[in-house]
Structure 1
């Protein structure tokens, strides 16, 4: 009979875990896809002010991810280290998401202060929820292949959350607002916030922690955990990988609504385009496990970033009348991009194993805080890049006369600006040391070590 850490995870538990990222992506996709256009075209903030808000808040928030990882590793409860945080944050997460898309009738300064306060609070709650949620995958199983499968389920759930938001939000805003975008966003986000809370509760009640840390792990020596982390070459490289691929994906997502609204000439078409991309991502998540078993996680990652970037760069050459070509190359690009987070979070679990194997200590929450840190920092940098490029091209969401000069910037952001990140991402992955052979050796030795505890 397999040890608890090696047993296969049942299908129902994988679905329950996946719904946690459906919930997280209800928030994440709403922020990356709609927050910038909400702030500029609905709430009335300038593109430059929005760029500074997104970047400064995410930089600050990135450091809280590390602190949350340390705190989660030292959480002691009968329900585990990580699962309780999912329960504790479920309701506050939904409430604060709703507040972020509320539009109080303040003056220009008051609006900016409110936006900062709501957004900072949301990122803090997201951290308290998502760092433990990500780390949970690292202790549900010690089997690297099973962890890749679990990561595939997770991101299938994530893309389902994206489909719900990006496929429905635009239409819900129109339907619930009756022409008033302020009201439309507010009521639509109420519905999504309730759904987010419900899914998180399912995740809490359906999952189980199995991998027990060695006795020295989580013993209170934070400095030793940090020293181990800074000596963990796979983790350090993954930190860069996460930042680069999230910045790449977030620029693509964050400009989509404006691209269709301002360049194609039909903002509502963005919904069907984003759904098409998320279906491609969902299929990519399903395909990732067998492809990774055949070629290895690192090699597959290097291949898909080049493929995705080439397809994405092609979007620059299409005009407003070339909608079919935009859909085709956008979907192809997203099929490659959809595998990246699946591979990334599975590789983070491998780097946690590496720390335990190399140093006899396992700080799973701290290791997985890299994922949340990279996503937030990369997302913040992407939002800032979008805002600054729009500002340089004179974009004003409330002034139609600025659109002709802003469109070239929008086209670049949709195509070659994110594609330029492919080369540094490929270079970092080239140096990643954990291949199939080393992972097999490491897993076998860890199993022997754990059997003696």
Structure 2
């Protein structure tokens, strides 16, 4: 294997900022869109639940479609890189339109939500999937790929925390009591910054290692490799489960603090404690070099599980200090998990090359597929349970709804962590030896 380092710091930073750019919009959607639709825009939880189902069905098609588009792209810029240039502006436009609140009828509002949210989902995939697919083409040095993956997640997690902490204060600042205007101005600010950062990535990153002989094969040729790529299948399932638990926890947090504790003002503080995820991201550099990627991610899942147990104790003891301690420990585990995702996907892409297929687009699609489907199903579970329990916006909630909030915030995540651990336990890292040997 070529052990030299091909990238320099300006390129590494620009690569990392691509994830920061996407997260400026994505995290608002993940954390606050359900709340925006029910409490600001005026849709019912049931209508939102169906919208999320439809969007996730669309994502099942969109992620592999964008992956195939990348694998069949012939341009002077490469396969993945031009997507940053082509789709950044439409992505930002649809992000802003999603938070526009036209004075339509109930049906008109729902149609507007469908058009804007589905459009946003497509263009998010178009600018986010290339971040993963381009990684294994930037270098052939295993440790350099790990560094690039960690830098990406460091910036992505940093912006995730910034959005979680500052979104509601910015909404209040811009809105002056009008949350509709506040959300629109906030997403516009985030969108403009996102556009600049995505285009910056296009101008500074490079695809260096593409084997033209095996880089543009048909899906019929690619499919057998996918079915034999067991590490890719398992990490894809883990990704989906991770974003499922993330969606359920994040979307329920604001309801927990608003309706269970009657302390909505604590949401930015609680989200601020997720800054600890950066500790988990940084730990990857050391732990993966000693124990490998699989054991490091398993450690992250166990850490997240025990953090969730501490959070549960805080909820049922009604003790904020214990609850926030759980948030911190859980966030460290999450940082270790999500920081390894693009790195392990890159490993499976390079493993595919040893089988004679370079299909970084379709293999990287599992990352976005997991994100979109996990978040959508998580939103469906949350919104659906709200509807079934009799949730009424901006009112004192009944006992069934309060119980449902606790289940979503505490117990369902614990079950998902156990399933994640079981799936990853059987991840066969031995087959990666051919990749690391440079075969």
Q: If the length of structure 1 is used for normalisation, what is the TM-score?
A: 0.93
Whole-Å separation in 1 of the counterparts to 2:112 and 2:162: 27
Q: Cα offset for 1:334?
A: 0.9
Residue number in structure 2 paired with 1:337: 334
CA RMSD of superposed structures (Å): 1.7
Residue number in structure 2 paired with 1:307: 303
Indicate how the Cα distance of structure 1 residues 403 and 203 shifts in structure 2: closer, same or farther if over 3 A, else same. Answer: farther
Deviations 1:67-98 (A, max 9, x none): 11111011111111111100111111111101
Indicate how the Cα distance of structure 1 residues 321 and 433 shifts in structure 2: closer, same or farther if over 3 A, else same. Answer: closer
1:268 to 265, 269, 273: 265
CA contact (8 A) 1:301 1:339 kept: yes
Whole-Å separation in 1 of the counterparts to 2:411 and 2:139: 39
Q: Cα offset for 1:33?
A: 0.2
2:432 to 439, 442, 446: 439
Query: Is 2:27 the counterpart of 1:29?
Result: yes
1:225 to 222, 225, 247: 222
1:7 to 5, 8, 32: 5
Whole-Å separation in 2 of the counterparts to 1:68 and 1:34: 26
Query: Is 2:160 the counterpart of 1:162?
Result: yes
CA contact (8 A) 1:139 1:210 kept: yes
Query: Is 2:419 the counterpart of 1:424?
Result: yes
CA contact (8 A) 1:20 1:199 kept: yes
2:66 to 65, 68, 92: 68
CA contact (8 A) 2:310 2:322 kept: no
Residue number in structure 1 paired with 2:254: 257
Whole-Å separation in 1 of the counterparts to 2:417 and 2:376: 18
DSSP-derived class of the 2:369 partner: helix
CA contact (8 A) 1:42 1:182 kept: yes
Q: How does 1:236-251 map to 2 (within 5 A)?
A: 236-251=233-248
Q: Which runs of 5+ in 1 are unaligned?
A: 447-453
CA contact (8 A) 2:300 2:335 kept: no
CA contact (8 A) 2:308 2:330 kept: yes
Residue number in structure 2 paired with 1:199: 197
Whole-Å separation in 2 of the counterparts to 1:313 and 1:106: 45
Return 375-384 or 74-83, whichever deviates more.
Answer: 74-83
DSSP-derived class of the 1:60 partner: helix
1:96 to 94, 97, 114: 94
Q: Cα offset for 1:192?
A: 0.7
Whole-Å separation in 2 of the counterparts to 1:106 and 1:15: 43
DSSP-derived class of the 1:421 partner: helix
CA contact (8 A) 1:59 1:380 kept: no
Residue number in structure 2 paired with 1:126: 124
Query: Is 2:348 the counterpart of 1:351?
Result: yes
Query: Is 2:377 the counterpart of 1:370?
Result: no
CA contact (8 A) 2:314 2:321 kept: no
CA contact (8 A) 2:259 2:397 kept: no
Q: Cα offset for 1:214?
A: 5.0
CA contact (8 A) 1:262 1:403 kept: no
CA contact (8 A) 2:96 2:184 kept: yes
2:406 to 403, 406, 411: 411
Indicate how the Cα distance of structure 1 residues 188 and 119 shifts in structure 2: closer, same or farther if over 3 A, else same. Answer: same
Q: Cα offset for 1:142?
A: 2.0
Residue number in structure 1 paired with 2:232: 235
Whole-Å separation in 2 of the counterparts to 1:23 and 1:142: 26
The alignment covers a number of residue pairs equal to 438
Q: Cα offset for 1:404?
A: 4.5
Whole-Å separation in 2 of the counterparts to 1:401 and 1:274: 23
Return 81-90 or 142-151, whichever deviates more.
Answer: 142-151
Whole-Å separation in 1 of the counterparts to 2:16 and 2:359: 23
Deviations 1:26-70 (A, max 9, x none): 122111100000011111111122122112212221221101111
Whole-Å separation in 2 of the counterparts to 1:403 and 1:197: 43
CA contact (8 A) 1:214 1:361 kept: no
Q: Cα offset for 1:11?
A: 2.1
Q: How does 1:391-410 map to 2 (within 5 A)?
A: 391-398=387-394, 400-410=395-405
Whole-Å separation in 2 of the counterparts to 1:300 and 1:179: 46
Whole-Å separation in 1 of the counterparts to 2:436 and 2:214: 19
Return 367-376 or 265-274, whichever deviates more.
Answer: 265-274
CA contact (8 A) 1:241 1:428 kept: yes
Residue number in structure 2 paired with 1:451: none
CA contact (8 A) 2:347 2:435 kept: no
Q: Which runs of 5+ in 2 are unaligned?
A: none
Q: If the length of structure 2 is used for normalisation, what is the TM-score?
A: 0.96
